[in-house]
Amino acid sequence: MYLCLIALTFASCAVSSLTPKSNEVKLKSSLGNIQGSLMHDIFGSLVHDSNNIAEGNGAYLREQLLQQNEHSPISFPFKLNQFQYPDIDDLTDFKQPGPLFSGIVTFAHLPEDECFFAREPMDIAIVGAPFDLGVSYNSGARFGPNGARQGSRRLRGGISPIRGNSRSSKLRGIDPYNSGLKLIDCGDVPMTPFDSRIALNQLYRGQHAIHKHPSFNSTQFNNTRIVTLGGDHTVTLMNLRSAYETFGDPGGLAVIHFDAHIDTWDPKVLGGGISDYASLNHGTFLHFAAEAGYVAKNHSVHVGIRAPFISGTDEKHDAVDCGFKTFTSKDVDLYTAKGIAEKIKTIVGQRKVYLTFDLDTFDVGYINSGTLEAGGLSSREILTILDGLEGIKLVGCDVVEVSTAPNTVNSASTELLAAQVVDSMLGLMTVFDQPE
């Protein structure tokens, strides 16, 4: 039967393309003998006749199908031809949300807007920083913003049953995409791949332009907050600078830094031996951020550290000069994921927080990233820690080192996890901005 149908379809295509005017006549004569056949009963109006056209819009919608079949589900396939297809020019159903894998991809199917020249009010902007000129090992994060968007296509589907770590958590009831806050995907900052100084300055100006947008429905902020999709970790210096200039307190922002690496390396040691220009990279940007005063010393923290220090002075430089506390990856075994979250909240206190998430916090088995390290955290541990931060005053976030170059290993899970981390960030930003 199916073969017959396929043959018939091809036949009618051939007929219609060659001799459009005699199409109707030929079809009628060649199909006359199938009236009343099983195939005609099931697919007749799909492939040839036009008797079953509905009056009004969207005739084959679900309710009608259910109505037709409510008494006799078993006879369902044999009744298919009884439902009515819309008129050929009726496209009203195209206005409804399409399949999750269709459409031009924005983060979580959010509306997109032009954010650099316009000044539309919005509450949370998603923006990409496609840049990987600062990596010391594995490039590919220039594809990260697009990757995170691809991985986000199943987000925005409702309220997560596992958000929040307790039944009393406010996060459990939150759908960050339908909370009254206006979320916009601003696309990417155009960053040149040929000069990292120019590219980073472009990012800074792009962040500044978005931060200048007034908020739309926020109860806490007068300016738009940004979630940046990276990009190698160097981009955080520009994100953090603009966030600090927009929201910052004099003592700096409390920085929660998820990473396998400390990223406060002394620029003289990492890159700086070559040129001053090379001294700013994805392993030194936090040194520069601390030096510039963007980081609240003693109220900032690394989570997931496990990569070796380069020199014997790194640990002291990190803790004393740059002001970071540290939880190693194995501290999660010691204190549990929920316990780590509580300790982080104690460290940041009531300060405004910037959260930067290096994808290499995840174990090497899950992801591709700039500098992979063994012994990382599971995706469940990470989501538990992130949800456990409920209540922090999050003014900005980024997910970085999302290395999804074409044909690389773990690309799909890297995309999915980057998107999921952003989803958790949006949950935290929303729960803090909810009216009581």
Ligand X SMILES: *[C@@H]1O[C@H](CO)[C@@H](O)[C@H](O)[C@H]1NC(C)=O
Burial of 216 (0-12, 13-18, 19+ CB in 10 A): middle
**Part in contact with ligand X (CB under 6 A); list of ranges 59-67, 79-87, 206-214, 217-225:** 217-225
Extract the tokens encoding 85.
């297809």
**Part in contact with ligand X (CB under 6 A); list of ranges 163-171, 183-191, 216-224, 231-239:** 216-224
**Helix residue spans in 212-303 (DSSP H):** 235-247, 285-291
Residue 318 near Mn ion by CB under 5 A:
no
Question: By CB under 5 A, what part of segment 329-358 binds Mn ion?
Answer: 358
Nearer to Mn ion, 108 or 255 (CB): 255
Extract the tokens encoding 18.
């060659």
Residue 232 near Mn ion by CB under 5 A:
no
- Side-by-side strand order, sheet with 324-328: 183-188, 124-129, 225-230, 393-400, 352-358, 254-258, 300-305, 324-328
Residue 298 near ligand X by CB under 6 A:
yes
Question: By CB under 6 A, what part of segment 166-205 binds ligand X?
Answer: 180
Residue 241 near Mn ion by CB under 5 A:
no
Residue 325 near ligand X by CB under 6 A:
no
For 279-295, b/e burial (b = at least 16 CB within 10 A) is bbbbbbbbbbbbeeebb
CB 425 within 8 A of CB 354: no
Given 33, 222, 275, 407, the residue binding ligand X (CB under 6 A): 222
Cα–Cα distances (Å) from 143 to 149, 258, 367, 369, in that order, read: 10, 21, 14, 11
Extract the tokens encoding 138.
């594995």
Nearer to ligand X, 30 or 298 (CB): 298
Residue position matching structure tokens 């009393």: 168
Nearer to Mn ion, 233 or 393 (CB): 233
Handedness of CA 156, 159, 161, 164 (dihedral sign): positive
Nearer to ligand X, 191 or 322 (CB): 322
Nearer to ligand X, 45 or 246 (CB): 246
Given 123, 259, 363, 423, the residue binding Mn ion (CB under 5 A): 259
CB 358 within 8 A of CB 230: no
Residue 350 near ligand X by CB under 6 A:
no
Nearer to Mn ion, 86 or 130 (CB): 130
Q: Nearest distance from residue 258's CB to ligand X, in Å?
A: 22
Residue 221 near ligand X by CB under 6 A:
yes
Residue 373 near Mn ion by CB under 5 A:
no
Phi and psi of 357, rounded to 5°? Answer: -120, 110
- What residue 79 binds from Mn ion, ligand X, none (CB within 5 to 8 A, per partner kind)? none
Positions that interact with Mn ion (CB under 5 A)? 233, 259, 263, 358
Footprint of ligand X (CB under 6 A): 180, 217, 221-222, 297-298, 435
